[in-house]
Amino acid sequence: MWIKIIPPVYKKLTKTMLTKGNPDCFKELKAFARLFGVDFTKKVELPLVFTDGTETVIRFYQVTGNGGRKDCRYNIPAGVLKQQAEVGDTIAFSFTHANDGKVMLVANVTRHKEYEYLTRDNIKATWTDTGSYDFYHQKKLEV
């Protein structure tokens, strides 16, 4: 068993992020997604839940950019994201434990100040004997 420390995973939303619908996947989110088994060379869809209980998905994939570079992207369905956030809001990614496994969680920390710690606290990921990660935050998330 070993522990990996992930820095806080959060981003301030820009107009382009909300209208484009498939922003570049930033470094911290890429590292976090890999803990869920995401391989960016394949399109991967994971369950995603907002702190108000809204369930949706987040998709991760790779596109070929100028000069052949590989850009990693993510997508949250635009209609859902626009209901949950607006330009200038900060969203933070974390996890929750569902009955059928781990689910990626997203919180709008601009609207819900009680989740601001997600922009400061590291996420601890422990590799288990069963070949998967267990995630820990200093503060337990209730969804």
| Domain at 99, CATH number | 2.40.330.10
Average pLDDT over residues 43-61: 92
Domain contains 75: yes
**Domain boundaries, position 54:** 2-136
Q: Over 60: is that where the pLDDT of 21 sits?
A: yes
Place 120 in a pLDDT band, splitting at 50, 70 and 90: confident
pLDDT higher than threshold 90 for residue 5: no
Greater pLDDT, 78 or 131: 78
In this structure, is residue 141 part of a structural domain?
no
Torsion of CA 28, 120, 52, 142, to 10 degrees: 110
What is the number of domains present in the chain? 1
Residue 143: per-residue pLDDT: 46
Q: Reduced to 3 states, what is the DSSP secondary structure of residue 13?
A: coil
Q: What is the biggest distance separating any 2 CA atoms in the chain, rounded to whole angstroms?
A: 45
107 inside domain: yes
